[in-house]
Amino acid sequence: MSTRFEWAIVVPVLNEIDTLPALLDHLRTWQQRGAEILLVDGDSRDGTAAAARAHGFTVLDAPPGRASQMNAGARHSQAPNLVFLHADTRLPNNADQLIQAALADSSLSWGRFDVRIEGRSRLLPVVSYLMNVRSRLSGIATGDQAMFMTRELFDHVGGFPSQPLMEDIELSKRLKQVSAPTCLRTRVTTSGRRWDHHGSWRTILLMWQLRWAYWRGTSAQKLAERYR
């Protein structure tokens, strides 16, 4: 007899062997609290998928790309509520209660958390603050904010678009046409490793350039080449 889950956490992974132990420790807590955990591997070459399976987690295989990986996880799950979590993001301890309350009002509900970016740069608290304010004003969520929604709404809008970048922005646009998001002020914590590795100002400038170009109509495929 299959287990009936009320919510699923879908995590796209790619070459995460170094950070995998911390991720699995975090996910096991939610697994023990009744969440379905689905890791979706995008053809990792460092043993990520095998290591996660060895620790007892369900790992699906999908073409690389967060959109295709998260769609594959959603298709596999039958849970009525879905949470899409990046591999370097951690949920707050009461995330299940907050998500349940946020999705209780309607079968076509969705939302996201505020975010805290952790890293060496002193600019990261400012970046986090601006991300949260922008998201609240625009109703657009980013993947780092742990987007969540009912399965009915996810299916209604067709899931994540098949594109290599800005899939979270495009999905938010589709979702907004149905209902406004619940913007939770409780924070998830995500890694600032990209800011630390590439430099804060350089990364901030790149992110704004990419968003501006996308808004102006540049294809996600072209932007993805600049993002790598």
Residue 1 has pLDDT above 60, yes or no: no
pLDDT in tens, 202-227: 777 777 777 777 777 777 677 666 66
Structural domains present in the chain: 7-227 (3.90.550.10)
SS3 207: helix
> Could you give the CA distance from residue 98 to residue 102 in angstroms, rounded to a whole number?
6
The reported pLDDT for the residue numbered 77 is 96
What is the pLDDT averaged over residues 6-12? 97
Residue 103 has pLDDT above 80, yes or no: yes
Predicted TM-score (pTM) of the model is 0.91
pLDDT tier at 109, thresholds 50, 70, 90: very high
Q: How far is CA 55 from the centre of its chain?
A: 22
Of 85-99, 128-142, 174-188, 196-210, which range is least confident?
196-210
pLDDT in tens, 121-150: 888 999 899 999 999 999 999 999 999 999
94-101 LR contacts (CB < 8 Å, sep 24+): 94/186, 95/30, 95/146, 95/186, 95/188, 96/7, 96/30, 96/33, 96/34, 96/35, 98/184, 98/186, 99/7, 99/148, 100/6, 100/7
Residue 70 has pLDDT above 70, yes or no: yes
> Could you give the CA distance from residue 35 to residue 38 in angstroms, rounded to a whole number?
10
Of 37-46, 149-158, 172-181, 217-226, which range is least confident?
217-226
Mean pLDDT over each residue of the chain, to the nearest integer? 91
159 within 8 A of 71, measured Cβ to Cβ: yes
What is the pLDDT averaged over residues 17-46? 97
What is the pLDDT averaged over residues 22-34? 97
